[in-house]
Structure 1
Amino acid sequence: MVLSLSKFCCTMSLKNDTKKELDVVHHEHVASHGVPSEDARPWYQQPELRKLYLMMPFLFLGSTTLGYDGSLLNGLQTMPAWKEFFNHPTGSRLGLLGAFPGFGGFAVLLFTPYIAGRLGTAIGCVLVIVGSIIQALPQRSNPDSMFLAGRFIMGMGSNISNATCPLLITEISHPRHRGKATTIYNTLWYLGAILAAWTTFGTLTHITSDLSWRLPIGLQCAMPGIQLLCVYLLPESPRWLISKNKHAAAQKMLTKYHGNGEETDFVKWEYTEISQTLEAEKLASASSGWVELVRTPGNRKRCLLIILTAIFSQCSGNGLVSYYLAAVLETIDITNSSHQALINGGLTIWCWLVSLGCAFLVDRVGRRTLFLSAGIGMLLAFSIWTACSAVYSQTGNSHAGSAVLAMIFLFYGAAGLAWPGLTVSYTVEILPFNIRAKGLTLCFVFTSLSGVFNQYVNPIGIEALGWKFYIVYVVVLVLECLAIYFLYVETKGPTLEEIAFLFDGADANVAGTGVAVGYENSSKVGKGDNI
């Protein structure tokens, strides 16, 4: 035990030394470039920046669309008309109905880096609209075929849109607001969930025919329809424009929105750093293909963190309630359809408020701190949830059942500290431009695979094991907390380009890499701290 403690202390000392050296290099880099002061006014007092951010909700709709579908099946499972139409699906069949959008999303993810930007968003919106219409029109003689086909197509579209929108948000936002804007994007998943939950509650209580479930499904067309009409009002990414040799257009975009129409020293500095960094990345890349994701130690560490983030975002116990709340509530004898729908609606509002509030803490508290706090909070809440479920199962104690419901809300409150918002924003932040689209695709590949597993296995596990199935997620949460503590890198502070120092050390391809002299006497940075 003494040896283990000594080794742990040694490891933490090395990490602290590494962080100090990286901080020194970052400050040297900033000092050597003489970063000019920017407009200190709040964004809402800057006319052009205000205009940019007021258009941003059209991109946020990509996350809202995904959240609507994610919560829709929860609402449908509370509807007697839907359950009767589909012959009361349970177990593996219910899992298949839930998992099918994941199959559709996985089918297109490898192609999304090549249709990024506004075009990719538009294609995604069209597919969601088509899929929603097909999903809303199945026939009683063979209900599964059209429903599954529609969910597959809708999964394709929503994942294309969700793979392109956060990239554009990150790259057009002012550096001062990048973290908040990208984090807010993913929290709006819960806004879609709220709309789905309360729409299904409304139709459940006022309509008894098949229209009660067909109408909420058809309403999925509304958000991608609005997004499709408005997405071209937004500017293109200056990084994308520079990568396509459209330098004048990139300068114009930065001048208009980040300089409020004036080519300030800050705008010139930002344009120079972006263009020189992209050039350095291009020269350093062995190729622009997928191998670049694992070519360097820094990129391998990025990929590991992306994969872990994707898996943890789906497989931390949250999938139990996100997709199968009705089945979980039935384990504590809450079987009334209206009560289930009300709990679903209330839970979505709670989750959104918590996650949205925490989105404004990312630049103050830091990403790693939020991840770790969320992991520990989820572990504690889920452990109590599991214990109370066991007590209720064995004794029928009503207080234990109420405690389970309370722990569900606390669990999602803890999850809201990080996972809704940071899953996408952290992934986008840690990637350099030349692999940003491919790295985000990697995130969504593992998110889809984890989601498919989650959505298919959870109803089977609950049906077969009841509360004992929860123990699996307690173990996962323990591993999650350890991984966050020992592996995750804090990205608060540096610009999108300068985050490369945290992963690549002396080999960072950032404009003005002459500052790398700060590494000459260090053998740890860029080696021992990388994978």
Structure 2
Amino acid sequence: MVATSAYNLSIVMFVALSSLTYGYAFSVFSTSIGQVGFYEYFDLSTTGPRAGYTNSMLGAINALFSAGAAFGALSIAWLPDWMGRKKTIQLAAVVSLVGGALVAGCATIPMLVVVRLIQGIGVGQCITITPVYLSEVAPPARRGFLAGQNAVGLVTGYFIASWVGYGTYFAKDATFAWRFPLALSCLFPLILIVGSPWIPESPRWLLWKDRADEAWVITERLHRDPRDPGQTQAKEEFYQMRSQIEFDRTQDLSMWYMFKKPSLRHRILLSCGILFGGQACGPLVVNNYSVLIYENLGMSGSMPLLMYAVYVVVGASVNVIAAFIMDRVGRRPLLCIGFLSTTIAMSVETALVAKFASTENKGGNAAAVLFLFLFVTGYGVCIDSTAFVYCAEVYPTMYRAKGMALGLFVYYVGSIAFLTPAATAMANIGWKFYLVFVACSFVAFVLTYFFAVETARLSLEEINSLFGDTVVVNWTNATAEEKAHIDEVIAEKARGEHVDVIENNDSQ
């Protein structure tokens, strides 16, 4: 298998700033609603006659952000195929930067609602294009680790937002305490914009656009292995993806065709189901309203913000673990274990909240906090990173951006459904709201167990065989004779006996 080069790793880590942009922008509002100055500035209150209005406004702000992210994700159905993966990343960063600047300067609640929508569009594009790009530049044996940096970047954004929010809680200027964290969301897309000219385009997209010479140069550099001076493995991978794309080029590339063709429809149901399941087990509600949850468990002052920051540290740490073990353990086992663990953790959490929330029982409230941490551990190790990687890699190159756009659109529609009523639901029905997440987690476990297929250690092209589609060059299942024949074909082309851009002899 092709080794992971330092250049490949550096490109992946830099592009993960795109998912960090999303993670920070999504999470930072969770810290704002823990700042006294936020409520004072906008004349809001969580108690008394204005509590209902406040909860509805918090729900609207989160819902509009998710709506923006949903439409931003949906735009990825055509932008990356039209303008390329690289330019789409740049565009998403620009929209995120503008949206972040507007959020930081907002003066009224209606303005905050609208500009969070704009910011949501940009970061929705960021989180959707990133796994598409990372999966296409990663070698098969390390795709889980490299594409998994998408989720690592995402939770790193959560991590930074949580600790910045905790630190600014002690600021003397009450407005600075909530406005500075919002303004900091501009930093990450700005870095991405400045450095993006140096990242390469996806070689698979270049092959699709008949720019094979550029695609080979990038492939060779991404997967250069000092143990393989002839770059045999890189040439084999290039030959495989070029052959597959030439075959796939004959297919109908419309969104409608994806729903008509059984193998593509299977992928849509699988990817949308897993991404929605990862949302429906409750992580975004717990993340966005964690300050309110901890306050309901008897904490006050800076403690809810501190506990949220520690919670995010745990979530970020276990996501790193997920990236390292995904290629060894496999996608399907991790997803099944994850959904089962979140079902159990949320079930116990529901019982503890029902019995001890809003009471003086410190032991019961501490146990409820513990199971929130166990919940995020199971989710972070098994679901968060794995779901994004899995749903990007199951699609053929021609349909990957469209498929990921559909999956993330469903993901964000789900977040609207859960986040919009969350503040009001937790205030009015309390622990009963948690039962929704218990039921959804269990359903996701059952569906994943029976319908998910394993994709680890296969090339993106070879994954087609799992859904009954044609694989032009199947290295994993090829016999020694077949591999020798293909290697001979590649060698002939490299010698210039056929026109091929691996050496580009005939065109110069």
Interval containing the TM-score (normalised by the shorter chain): 0.7 to 0.9
Residue in 2 that maps onto 1:16: none
The 1-side partners of 2:313 and 2:474 are apart by: 46
Q: Distance in 2 between matches of 1:455 and 1:315?
A: 11
Distance 2:271 2:387 in 1: 9
Alignment partner of 1:348 out of 309, 312, 326: 312
Instruction: Indicate which of 74, 79, 89 corresponds to 1:121.
Output: 89
1:454 CA drift (Å): 1.6
- Deviation per CA, 1:505-525, whole angstroms, max 9, x where unpaired? xx4243369x89xxxxxxxxx
Give the corresponding residue for 1:250: 215
Q: Is the 8 A contact 1:388 1:401 kept in 2?
A: yes
> 2:241 maps to what in 1?
274
Question: Which residue of the partner structure matches residue 104 of structure 2?
Answer: 136
Tell me if the contact between 2:139 and 2:459 (Cα under 8 Å) persists in the aligned partners. no
Tell me if 1:85 matches 2:41. yes
For residue 140 of structure 2, give the secondary structure of its aligned residue in structure 1.
Answer: coil
Partner of 2:472: 510
Which runs of structure 2 are paired with 1:168-317 in the superposition (5 Å)?
A: 168-260=133-225, 264-283=231-250, 285=251, 287-317=252-282
Task: Give the deviation of 1:297 after TM superposition.
Answer: 1.9
The question of whether the paired residues in 1 share the 8 Å contact of 2:12 and 2:149 is answered with no
- CA positional deviation for 1:396: 4.5
Structure 2: distance between partners of 1:302 and 1:38: 27
The structure 2 residue matched to 1:70, chosen from 3, 13, 26, is 26
SS in 2 for 1:378: helix
Paired position in structure 1 for 2:124: 159
After superposition, what is the alpha-carbon deviation per residue over 1:368-416, rounded to whole angstroms, capped at 9, x for unaligned?
1111111111111111111111111486432111110111001111111
Q: Which consecutive residues of structure 1, in runs of 5 or more, have no partner in the other structure?
A: 1-36, 44-48, 517-531
Asked whether the 8 Å contact 1:78–1:341 carries over to 2, the reply is yes
Gaps of 5+ in 2: 46-52, 479-508
Q: Are 2:274 and 2:444, in contact at CA under 8 Å, matched by a contact in 1? A: no
Could you give the per-residue CA deviations for residues 234-263 of structure 1, whole angstroms, max 9, x where no partner exists? 111111010010011111112222135965
1:109 Cα deviation (Å)?
3.2
DSSP-derived class of the 1:106 partner: helix
Q: Is residue 473 from structure 1 mapped to residue 437 from structure 2 by the alignment?
A: yes
Who is 1:324 aligned against? 289
Are 1:357 and 2:325 matched, yes or no? Answer: no
Given residue 148 of structure 1, which amino acid in structure 2 is its aligned partner? V
Cα separation, 1, equivalents of 2:72 and 2:432: 36
2:286 alignment partner AA: V
Question: Which stretch of structure 1 is more off in the superposition, 65-74 or 438-447?
Answer: 65-74
The DSSP-based 3-state class of the residue aligned with 2:201 is coil
Which of 337, 348, 351 lines up with 1:373 in the alignment?
A: 337
Q: Is the 8 A contact 1:392 1:400 kept in 2?
A: yes
8 Å contact 2:62–2:420 — kept in the other structure? yes
Letter of the 1:492 partner, please give it: A
Determine which of 95, 99, 117 is the counterpart of 2:63. 99
CA positional deviation for 1:264: 2.3
- The residue number in structure 1 matching 2:485 is none
Deviates more, 1:361-370 or 1:468-477: 468-477
Distance 1:392 1:72 in 2: 29
**RMSD (CA atoms):** 2.0
Any idea what the Cα deviations from partners look like across 1:207-245, whole Å, max 9, x if unmatched?
333111111111101000000111121111111010010
> Which residue is equivalent to 2:351?
387
> C-alpha displacement at 1:183, in angstroms?
1.3
When structure 1 is superposed on structure 2, of 389-398 and 471-480 the one drifting more is 389-398
SS in 1 for 2:95: helix
Distance 1:317 1:290 in 2: 30
On the 8 A contact 1:373/1:417 being kept in 2, the answer is no
- Structure 1 pair 497–390 and aligned structure 2 pair: CA distance change class (3 A): same
Cα offset for 1:137? 1.5
Q: Given the two structures, how large is their TM-score scaled by the length of structure 1?
A: 0.84
Q: For residues 406-485 of structure 1, what are the structure 2 equivalents within 5 Å?
A: 406-485=370-449
Instruction: Give the percent of matched residue pairs that are identical in Structure 1 and Structure 2.
Output: 25
| CA deviation map 1:171-229 (0-9, x unaligned) | 11223221211112112211101111111111111233311111111110100000011
- State how far apart, in whole Å, the 2-side matches of 1:168 and 1:476 are: 30
Runs of 4+ in structure 1 deviating by more than 6 angstroms, as ranges, are none
2:483 paired residue number: none
The amino acid of 1:510's aligned partner reads V
Rounded Cα–Cα distance in structure 1 between residues aligned with 2:473 and 2:7? 30
Q: Where does 1:32-43 land on structure 2 (aligned, <5 Å)?
A: 43=4
Q: CA deviation at 1:70?
A: 2.0
Amino acid at match of 2:291: A
TM-score normalised by L of structure 2 = 0.87
